[in-house]
Structure 1
Amino acid sequence: MQIVGSVALMLWGIRLVRTGFIRAFGGSLRHYLGLAISGRLTSFGVGLAITVFLQSSTATALIISSFASKGLVQTPAALAVMLGADVGTSISAQILSFNLSWLAYAAILIGFFLHGRGGRFATRQIGRAIVGLGMVLLALSLIRMSSQPLREADGLAYVLSALEGEVLLTLFLMAVLTWLVHSSLAVVLLTASLASAGIVPTGTGLVMILGANIGGTIPPIIATLSTGPQSQHAALGNAGFKLLASLLVLPFLPWVGERLQSFGGDAQVLVNFHLTFNLLVATLFLPWVQTAAALLARVFPDTGAGAVEPVTKYLDKELITSPALALTSATRELYRVNERIEDSLALLSGGIAARDQVDVQGAQENRARVAAMLEEFKFYLTDITREEISESDSAKAMNLLLIATNLGHVSELVTNAVELTASTSHEQIRFSEAGTAELLEMLELIHQGIRLALSAALLGDAKVRKTLQKGRKELERMVDESRQAHFSRLAEGTLSSISTTSLHNELLRDFSRIYYHIYTASKIGGRDSSVMIRG
């Protein structure tokens, strides 16, 4: 039972290391993973470096698979990242295989101090990761001590002797174990510790390492079963690489074991083999990721049959535990909301310019889509704030919620303006040429404002805020002048102005309210973000 408890301690420590680094450097990790689109060598290097920190190729694989499912990373780059991640976790195993038990208690003490006393959120999360590292080192030390009595256990000796001649059974059992614990690193370290105590023979241990590598590819496959083929391609491709390499290496395992014996004891042989195997996989398949991606697309095509377009694209539930990453995803989703509103503004402009072709259905569909997106957006932000979150990230979440609320008002008002314009189109009532020009000029100003509002709010650009402030004053001036010009046309008896008086005034009212919410959204996050939102 002691060894089971030690394994549980090691798994929890690995989790703390992973979550600590993700929460502390989530934005940076996402940035560097974003570099994966620049080439296979860069993708490989990014996957390797990030996994050394996270100590989990499974975590990296799940993140990159979620990116691929949303079209943010292409399959060849995702495959290269996974190859790098496998090498990265092998390097972590190399580092942790040394007897660093003397460092365990110091790491736990330092990490506890940083997590409990650290003023900054990032410092506390780094402390969490250091505590996790100390727990892993302590667990490995406990496994070494508790495994000594197992050498005398007749039952265990019988099981291991039976497995020694059953290569496929050993591969299967280790793959299942790795899938259950979701950590090939933990299984490799456990196997190496048992080998150092003389419990696991070298030959059986090599097969167990292969099984752990195969099992590490299962969680990403299962996690992407309900997603698009793009992410499935990356997970399935990585599994295919491991299976092919395992078939290639299996006949040469005795020879490989003999060659590696000169580099250390039984435990070191296994971790060296783990690193050598993943370097071999990367060497064999990295040059062929483009070809592999094409083959996967042919074998597992994206037919799109029966596919339903998701409401949101960037709100990744797997990133909730990392507020920095999740907030970045939420920010990207706001830009999609903005695009929908811009589409509706274009429909409104078209409806005013050509009254007999008002696409009111398109505007209503955009409004419904924006409402659904913002509903999911608000629930997503709520989930983020339930996690351990820094004050700055909490403020960002609140700002994003306020911006989203204002964008929702803009969407409603734009659609209302489209419906007003369409309500009289069947009567063949048209604005006067002067009135049409005035309304279109104001719409152009509004269109420019909606494009700038998010940049002003999210980037804190004071110059853009001043531009929008001037734009609001300019719009109010144009509204007043258009209202006066319209009354002048009424006095002159212009028939088109007489028939559109009510519509013209209602549109002017909506234009003012639209720009108010645009301007309010732009001020959020700045010194003057205390402006209250009016419904």
Structure 2
Amino acid sequence: MEIAHDMNITQLFIGLAGGVTLLIWGLKRVQEGMNRAYGSKLAYLVRDRFAGVWSALGLGATLTLILQSSTAAALLAGSLGVQGEAGLAFLLGADVGTTIVALILSFDLSALSPLLIAVGVGLEFRGRSKRLQGIGQAAMGLGLMLLALATLRSMAEPLQASALFVDIMRSLLAEPWLALLFAAAITFMLHSSLVMVLLLSGLVAAQVIDVPGGLLLILGVNVGSALIPVYMSRGASNAKRVAPLGNLLLRCLGVMAFLPILGWIHNIFNTLQFAGAWQLVVLHCLFNLAVASFGMLIVSKLAGWIDYRLPPQKLTPTPSPKHLDDILDTSPAAAISNVVRDTLTMGDLLEDMLKDVHRNMYKNVEVLAKKINQSDDIIDDFHQQINAYLLELGGQELTKEERDRCQDLLLFTTNIEHAGDIIERSIIMLLKKKNNLHIEFSSQEKEAIEACMQGLFEVMPLSFQVMMSEDAEAAKGLFQAKQAFNVMHQKQLDTLRQRAMDQRVSPLAHSLFTDIMRDIKRLHSHFTAIAYPLLSRQGALHNSRWRGAEDRPPAVELDKKTFSDDPVT
């Protein structure tokens, strides 16, 4: 690609911005593709293959080679609870992995770009498995990265003729600390040290900036890359902040150690006849290897030192069952009463989850999903402890009424736990899909969802009342509320299904709407289920909803003649 030398500075910057954007987009495609192809295996490696800080170091390097981003590897590890000294070792390994990727991509592999893009597109759209499609997506992303690097090299050459750009860079590099801060800030904004290393290598190769200046900027890039996980963990617990802060501290120490000897390193590279761009990549590699080597010597002490000096946090206590006293020291009636109290707390947690979904259904779904995941984990913990307590109580000497009461409470707590799973694993997933596809529900669909949600909120207090009091009249009211809700729910679905057919609305949007309506009905059924065993024991329910079930004659008892060997005449 030839660029006219009379191109103005604005056009050059637009071209460079386009090349950098394409490079970042290609990198993102590689990350998404590898997660799509090997996501569960990568999670298994992080979760189940830790055997100490050295294995964490190796895993960090391995995952970064696969994902081509230390930031992506750090996010994966953080989501699976890697923290403390193991987390610090993981980040050190991830930075080493980035240097290996930079070494490979520093070679001119642009000739492979069309082939990788063609193969990638073919696999992504024609692959028969999720893994093949993910590999295709990653191959296409790698091809786009190579294409972007070729574009950056060609766009950087005309910058030599721009007196304005050369003067700006000379003024910047004349102040070493300002140059370090500038490189760190740009790296932080791009969220990728790999992109910055490759970009600076291209500028040095085009002689837009000199080699000593490029080496100085590489040090700033390494500080900027360490700021990214620090920023992402700013609201996390102290345990999760130790690793990013330790990594940043080690990099700052590394910059202070390398800065005085940068000229000496440059002379050695010149003696070895390294090209200018290659010197930047090799320095990046040496810096990360030196920081990782030193960091692994003090990883445990450094993690402990940082943890000790972090300000203590006022953590909100996680709700947990508080009334499950020792069964051997508690009468059955008192034990059942204690279960009811903790079950009410469990129900309140679920009600809060539903209110969060109701308020934020059309807002920031990602923030909502994180909060719902945390709440569902707490509800799961309640369910496990209460169920274990009730099962242990069931092994004691109980009256028939007490045993029935235990069965009812088991049913109720299990339904609450299932309701939490429906919210987390179905409704939230549907809202994410709706958000990702930029689908908007019509006003009629929103009104239908709102009407069903209000019906859900109306039945919840009645459900808790039946659970506490075992009142037959309240159970009948709960049963009738379910019948009325089902009629209203079906009417809403029929009306909007007919509208979808008449107006030919988007099938995908209508499918998402009906799936959410289905889940709301499932939630309603879980709350009303507590009425059935109570009404059944009082004989207030039919054995079957089939109209002809009660009119059937009793089953005929077969006698021995039925199975005799006599032939049928």
The CA deviation at 1:155 is 0.9
Which residue type is aligned with residue 165 of structure 2?
A: L
What corresponds to 1:345 in structure 2?
387
Map 1:75-224 onto structure 2 (within 5 A): 75-224=84-233
User: Is 2:291 aligned against 1:281?
Assistant: yes
What corresponds to 1:303 in structure 2?
313
Find 1:56's aligned residue among 56, 64, 69: 69
Higher RCO, 1 or 2 (CA under 8 Å, sep at least 6)? Answer: 1
In the alignment, is the contact (CA less than 8 A) between 2:409 and 2:467 conserved in 1?
Answer: no
Distance 1:250 1:387, change over 3 A: same
In the alignment, is the contact (CA less than 8 A) between 2:387 and 2:410 conserved in 1?
Answer: no
Which residue type is aligned with residue 306 of structure 2?
A: L
User: Is 2:62 aligned against 1:14?
Assistant: no
Query: Which of the two has higher C-alpha Rg?
Result: 2
What corresponds to 1:378 in structure 2?
426
User: Is 2:278 aligned against 1:268?
Assistant: yes
Map 1:313-352 onto structure 2 (within 5 A): 339-349=381-391
The CA deviation at 1:219 is 2.3
Which residue type is aligned with residue 53 of structure 1?
A: I
The CA deviation at 1:303 is 3.5
In the alignment, is the contact (CA less than 8 A) between 1:9 and 1:136 conserved in 2?
Answer: yes
Distance in 2 (alpha carbons) for counterparts of 1:263 and 1:386: 56
The CA deviation at 1:149 is 1.0
Map 1:501-520 onto structure 2 (within 5 A): 506=537
In the alignment, is the contact (CA less than 8 A) between 1:56 and 1:183 conserved in 2?
Answer: yes
Tell me the percent identity: 29
Please list the CA deviations of residues 382-438 of structure 1 after superposition, one character each: whole Å capped at 9, or x if unmatched.
35656999xxxxxxxxxxxxxxxxxxxxxx9x9999857999xxxxxxxxxxxxxxx
Count of residues in correspondence between the two structures: 392
In the alignment, is the contact (CA less than 8 A) between 1:37 and 1:73 conserved in 2?
Answer: no
Scaled by the length of structure 1, the TM-score of the pair is 0.64
- Structure 2: stretches of 5+ with no match in the other structure: 1-13, 321-348, 351-371, 438-460, 473-532, 541-569
Distance 1:227 1:365, change over 3 A: farther
In the alignment, is the contact (CA less than 8 A) between 1:48 and 1:85 conserved in 2?
Answer: yes
Distance 1:379 1:77, change over 3 A: farther
What SS does structure 2 have at the residue aligned with 1:226?
coil
RMSD over equivalenced CA pairs, Å: 4.1
The CA deviation at 1:338 is 5.6
User: Is 2:10 aligned against 1:4?
Assistant: no
In the alignment, is the contact (CA less than 8 A) between 1:78 and 1:234 conserved in 2?
Answer: yes
Distance 1:53 1:351, change over 3 A: closer
The CA deviation at 1:264 is 1.8
The CA deviation at 1:378 is 3.1
Please list the CA deviations of residues 476-528 of structure 1 after superposition, one character each: whole Å capped at 9, or x if unmatched.
xxxxxxxxxxxxxxxxxxxxxxxxxx989859x9xxxxxxxxxxxxxxxxxxx
What corresponds to 2:60 in structure 1?
47
Please list the CA deviations of residues 206-233 of structure 1 after superposition, one character each: whole Å capped at 9, or x if unmatched.
1111111111122222222222222222
Distance in 2 (alpha carbons) for counterparts of 1:305 and 1:333: 16
Distance in 2 (alpha carbons) for counterparts of 1:43 and 1:422: 58
Distance in 2 (alpha carbons) for counterparts of 1:388 and 1:504: 45
Distance in 2 (alpha carbons) for counterparts of 1:367 and 1:296: 44
Map 1:420-439 onto structure 2 (within 5 A): none
What SS does structure 2 have at the residue aligned with 1:264?
coil
Map 1:479-490 onto structure 2 (within 5 A): none
Which residue type is aligned with residue 91 of structure 1?
A: I
Which residue type is aligned with residue 235 of structure 1?
A: P
Please list the CA deviations of residues 240-259 of structure 1 after superposition, one character each: whole Å capped at 9, or x if unmatched.
11111111111111111222
What corresponds to 2:302 in structure 1?
292
Which residue type is aligned with residue 135 of structure 1?
A: L
Which residue type is aligned with residue 150 of structure 1?
A: L
The CA deviation at 1:260 is 2.4
Distance 1:65 1:344, change over 3 A: same
Which residue type is aligned with residue 296 of structure 2?
A: L
What SS does structure 2 have at the residue aligned with 1:37?
coil
In the alignment, is the contact (CA less than 8 A) between 1:245 and 1:281 conserved in 2?
Answer: yes
Please list the CA deviations of residues 268-319 of structure 1 after superposition, one character each: whole Å capped at 9, or x if unmatched.
000000011000010000122211221121112553444566989xxxxxxx
Please list the CA deviations of residues 455-482 of structure 1 after superposition, one character each: whole Å capped at 9, or x if unmatched.
xxxxxxxxxxxxxxxxxxxxxxxxxxxx
Map 1:325-474 onto structure 2 (within 5 A): 339-349=381-391, 353=396, 371-372=419-420, 374-382=422-430, 419=468
User: Is 2:71 aligned against 1:23?
Assistant: no
Which shifted more, 84-93 or 367-376? 367-376
- Structure 1: stretches of 5+ with no match in the other structure: 313-329, 390-411, 424-501, 510-535
What corresponds to 2:47 in structure 1?
34
Distance 1:265 1:247, change over 3 A: same
Please list the CA deviations of residues 155-186 of structure 1 after superposition, one character each: whole Å capped at 9, or x if unmatched.
11111211222111111111111111111100
In the alignment, is the contact (CA less than 8 A) between 2:65 and 2:100 conserved in 1?
Answer: yes
Please list the CA deviations of residues 185-212 of structure 1 after superposition, one character each: whole Å capped at 9, or x if unmatched.
0011000010011111111111111111
In the alignment, is the contact (CA less than 8 A) between 1:36 and 1:81 conserved in 2?
Answer: no
What corresponds to 2:354 in structure 1?
none
In the alignment, is the contact (CA less than 8 A) between 1:65 and 1:234 conserved in 2?
Answer: no
In the alignment, is the contact (CA less than 8 A) between 2:43 and 2:76 conserved in 1?
Answer: no
In the alignment, is the contact (CA less than 8 A) between 2:214 and 2:280 conserved in 1?
Answer: yes
Which residue type is aligned with residue 272 of structure 1?
A: V
Distance in 2 (alpha carbons) for counterparts of 1:297 and 1:309: 25
Distance in 1 (alpha carbons) for counterparts of 2:319 and 2:49: 25
Which residue type is aligned with residue 116 of structure 1?
A: F
The CA deviation at 1:381 is 3.2
Distance 1:506 1:334, change over 3 A: farther
The CA deviation at 1:95 is 0.3
Which shifted more, 336-345 or 76-85? 336-345
The CA deviation at 1:234 is 1.7
Distance 1:365 1:184, change over 3 A: same
Distance in 2 (alpha carbons) for counterparts of 1:190 and 1:37: 35
What corresponds to 1:474 in structure 2?
none
Which residue type is aligned with residue 228 of structure 2?
A: P
What SS does structure 1 have at the residue aligned with 2:75?
helix
Please list the CA deviations of residues 77-111 of structure 1 after superposition, one character each: whole Å capped at 9, or x if unmatched.
11111111001011000000001111111111111
